């Protein structure tokens, strides 16, 4: 490609609405342009990089034995009703109507479609296992589309769905995808760490997310440097034994006035001085239309994913002020569970057997001290409900846990038979008995991966592409295009030789100052730059430089061989 024939609209300044470095660089390097919030056009260079990521994904899926298909983006709502997700997933749907006013859904994911296809096409254990994948546009009405391609309304996903005869067989399919994902991200030059992930209401099954560590990531990962434990914070656990730490207190309950105190923090201050870890925090949630109480230690936060797992339903929300008052006759800040009748109480396991605690009295402006949880509060269920905090002990090895932010680029998930049962994807086993297929689903955000590569690999001058996904691997920069006798003649000759040898090369044939050309090449981040100028040519040499590396000089006649070696052609 010749630069003068391409469309590479680089920008000096970052557009004001780009908040994170990768989003800024995508725009500045002329890779994408915004149409509207969460909707982007891939310009030619961005599209080339995207295709390269897709190619890696496709090669690894094929290598793992998955079969490529293409499903419709437009989906009938009936299949979502059949799977039971029409209501629960409806907040992400983009819905459209046809001329007869019938509703359709722009697919946010494809479990329902693939399972319907499989229900019609596969019927014997002899045909299993099967794994189908596609690379396709997904639509999601995200609450907060942001950060460019990271969280878009329309994005490209590779989604795969495996069908097996048994749980054991499904585990093998899962492992194949896990291994394929590891290779995909490696080949993309991306450091992506598999972490244990939450499985939501489906509960109990197995799931890993592939996370790219980045301060701008929307996820938090809890990890242990010592034993390599790593989990999404939603899923993470920590070792925390509390009653042993605090000793025993048998004193009688004692109500005391706390006028104006409505936070845990305020109660820690004089004249009360009740440490946060000696307080019981009472939260009121509405679960399937009924109030429930959730008890946590004062210095802990609720992990909503664990709450969903404990309740077995995702139909829950924090109660409104009136609902809280109706349930407990007090306002937030003075809430407690002592003597509460008819409202189920879920308590975090850290509170088991604790004594000497302080909690709200269910009377505005009052608290109660000397609470012994076993004696004073009727707990319906103990569960791990708290959010892990940095510094707590690893549940596996006891060493302190750390927390860092990360970008989720992929997700592998053992689904079980939820969809095959609902949509009739059954097969007859060896004994001619009908069984639902055991499923797994596997997603990679292809467009998000592209941006994550940039987020992880850049410097003050711009992007640093790995060779595998760079829009062009080599940028040739003749320093003076007016010199068509020597400089351009050699440039054209090397350019055509490299092109013939299948090297992805762009020739910057613009009549611009070298500084301008180098700046653009660095901003876009071509991995290898080959500069041809009168000065070094006087010594028979050209300049080769890796993006961000040192300048090296090679004999002009060896340039092609050297480049071929560098790109391993």
In Å, what is the CA distance from 77 to each residue of 94, 106, 365, 420? 11, 10, 51, 17
Compare residues 94 and 546 and give the one whose CB is closer to ligand ATP. Answer: 94
> Contact between 410 and ligand ATP (CB under 6 A)?
yes
> Which residue, judged by CB position, is nearest to ligand ATP in the bound state?
445
Q: Cβ of residue 94: shortest distance to ligand ATP, in angstroms?
A: 12
Task: State how far the Cα of 212 lies from the Cα of 363, in Å rounded to an integer.
Answer: 48
CB burial of residue 250 (10 Å; 0-12, 13-18, 19+): exposed
Interface with ligand ATP, residue 414, by CB under 6 A: no
In this structure, are strands 207-213 and 402-416 parallel, antiparallel, or unpaired?
A: antiparallel
Q: Can you read off the two tokens belonging to residue 256?
A: 């005391």
Residues 425 and 419 sit within 8 Å (Cβ to Cβ): yes
Q: Which stretch binds ligand ATP (CB under 6 A): 242-250, 408-416, 453-461, 549-557?
A: 408-416
43 in Cβ contact with 476 (< 8 Å): no
Q: How many residues can be counted in the chain?
A: 569
Contact map string, positions 439 to 458, toward ligand ATP, x by CB under 6 A: ----x-x-xx----------
| Distance, first Cα to last Cα, the chain | 18
Residue 409 makes contact with ligand ATP by CB under 6 A: yes
202 in Cβ contact with 415 (< 8 Å): yes
Structure tokens at 55: 């190619």
CB atoms within 10 A of CB 12: 7
109 binds ligand ATP (CB under 6 A): yes
CB of 152 to ligand ATP, least distance (A): 4
| Among the residue ranges 50-58, 283-291, 297-305, 405-413, the one whose residues contact ligand ATP (CB under 6 A) | 405-413
Rama region for 540: left / alpha / beta (φ>0; ψ in -120 to 50; rest): left
- Stretch of 41-49, 124-132, 295-303, 404-412 lying at the interface with ligand ATP (CB under 6 A): 404-412
Cβ within 8 Å of residue 560, ≥6 positions away: 494, 497, 498, 501
Q: Is 155 in the site for ligand ATP (CB under 6 A)?
A: yes
- Is residue 151 part of the contact set for ligand ATP (CB under 6 A)? yes
Nearest CA-CA partner of 183 in 63, 51, 47, 48: 63
Count of residues touching ligand ATP (by CB under 6 A): 15
User: Measuring CA to CA, how many Å separate 157 from each of 63, 72, 107, 109, 255?
Assistant: 19, 14, 11, 9, 57
Distance CA 198, CA 128 (A): 28
The residue (of 83 and 358) whose beta carbon lies closer to ligand ATP is 83
Cβ 2 to ligand ATP, closest distance in Å? 33
304 binds ligand ATP (CB under 6 A): no
For ligand ATP, the binding residue among 411, 418, 517, 547 (CB under 6 A) is 411
Q: Whose Cβ is closer to ligand ATP: residue 410's or residue 478's?
A: 410
Q: Considering the rule CB under 6 A, would residue 135 count as an interface residue with ligand ATP?
A: no
β-pair partners for 368: 255, 359
Shortest distance in whole angstroms from residue 409 CB to ligand ATP = 5
- Stretch of 347-355, 406-414, 424-432, 494-502 contacting ligand ATP, by CB under 6 A: 406-414
The smaller minimum CB distance to ligand ATP, of residues 136 and 536, is found at 136
142 binds ligand ATP (CB under 6 A): yes
Q: Does 235 bind ligand ATP (CB under 6 A)?
A: no
Rounded to the nearest 5 degrees, what angle is found at the Cα of 139, between the Cα atoms of 133 and 140?
A: 115
CB nearer to ligand ATP: give 403 or 486.
403
- The site for ligand ATP (CB under 6 A) is made up of 109, 140, 142, 151-152, 155, 157, 408-411, 443, 445, 447-448
């Amino acid at each position: 490609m010749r630069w003068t024939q391409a469309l590479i609209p680089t920008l000096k300044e970052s557009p004001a609405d780009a908040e994170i470095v990768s989003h800024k660089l995508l725009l500045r390097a002329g890779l994408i342009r915004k149409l509207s919030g969460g909707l982007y056009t891939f310009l030619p260079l961005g599209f080339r990089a995207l295709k390269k990521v897709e190619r890696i994904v496709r090669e690894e899926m094929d290598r793992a034995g998955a079969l490529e298909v293409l499903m419709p983006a437009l989906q009938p709502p009936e299949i979502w009703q059949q799977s039971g997700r029409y209501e629960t997933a409806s907040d992400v749907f983009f819905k459209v109507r046809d001329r007869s006013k019938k509703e359709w859904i722009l697919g946010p994911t494809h479990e329902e479609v693939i399972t319907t296809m499989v229900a019609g096409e596969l019927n014997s254990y002899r045909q299993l296992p099967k794994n189908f994948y596609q690379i396709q546009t997904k639509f999601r009405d995200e609450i907060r589309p942001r950060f460019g391609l990271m969280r878009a309304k329309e994005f490209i996903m590779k989604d795969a769905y495996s069908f097996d005869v048994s749980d054991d067989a499904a585990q093998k399919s899962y492992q194949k995808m896990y291994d394929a994902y590891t290779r995909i991200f490696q080949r993309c030059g991306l450091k992506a760490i598999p972490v244990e992930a939450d499985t939501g209401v489906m509960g109990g099954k197995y799931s890993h997310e592939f996370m790219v560590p980045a301060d701008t990531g929307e996820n938090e990962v809890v990890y242990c440097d010592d034993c390599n434990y790593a989990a999404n914070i939603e899923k993470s656990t920590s070792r925390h034994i509390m009653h042993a730490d605090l000793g025993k207190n048998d004193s009688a309950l004692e109500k005391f006035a706390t006028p104006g105190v409505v936070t845990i923090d305020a109660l820690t201050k004089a004249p009360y001085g009740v440490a946060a870890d000696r307080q019981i925090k009472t939260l009121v949630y509405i679960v399937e239309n009924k109030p429930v109480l959730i008890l946590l230690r004062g210095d802990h936060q609720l992990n909503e994913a664990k709450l969903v797992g404990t309740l077995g339903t995702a139909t829950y929300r924090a109660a409104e002020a009136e609902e809280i008052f109706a349930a407990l006759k007090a306002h937030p800040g003075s809430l407690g569970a002592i003597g509460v009748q008819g409202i189920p109480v879920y308590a975090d396991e850290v509170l088991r057997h604790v004594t000497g605690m302080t909690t709200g009295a269910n009377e505005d402006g009052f608290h109660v001290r000397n609470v012994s949880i076993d004696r004073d509060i009727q707990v319906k269920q103990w569960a791990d409900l708290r959010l892990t905090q940095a510094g707590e002990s690893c549940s596996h090895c006891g060493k302190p846990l750390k927390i860092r932010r990360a970008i989720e680029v992929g997700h592998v998930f053992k689904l079980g038979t939820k969809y095959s049962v609902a949509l009739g994807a059954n097969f007859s086993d060896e004994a001619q008995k009908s069984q639902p297929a055991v499923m797994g689903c596997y997603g990679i955000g292809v467009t998000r991966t592209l941006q994550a590569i940039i987020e992880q690999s850049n410097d003050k001058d711009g992007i640093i592409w790995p060779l595998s996904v760079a829009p062009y691997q080599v940028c040739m920069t003749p320093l003076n295009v007016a010199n068509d006798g020597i400089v351009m003649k050699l440039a054209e000759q090397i350019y055509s030789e490299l092109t013939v040898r299948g090297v992805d090369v762009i020739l910057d044939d613009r009549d611009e100052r070298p500084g301008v050309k180098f700046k653009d090449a660095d901003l876009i981040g071509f991995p290898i730059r080959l500069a041809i100028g009168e000065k070094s040519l006087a010594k028979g040499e050209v300049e080769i430089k890796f993006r961000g590396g040192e300048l090296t000089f090679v004999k002009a006649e060896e340039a092609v061989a050297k480049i071929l070696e560098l790109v391993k052609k």
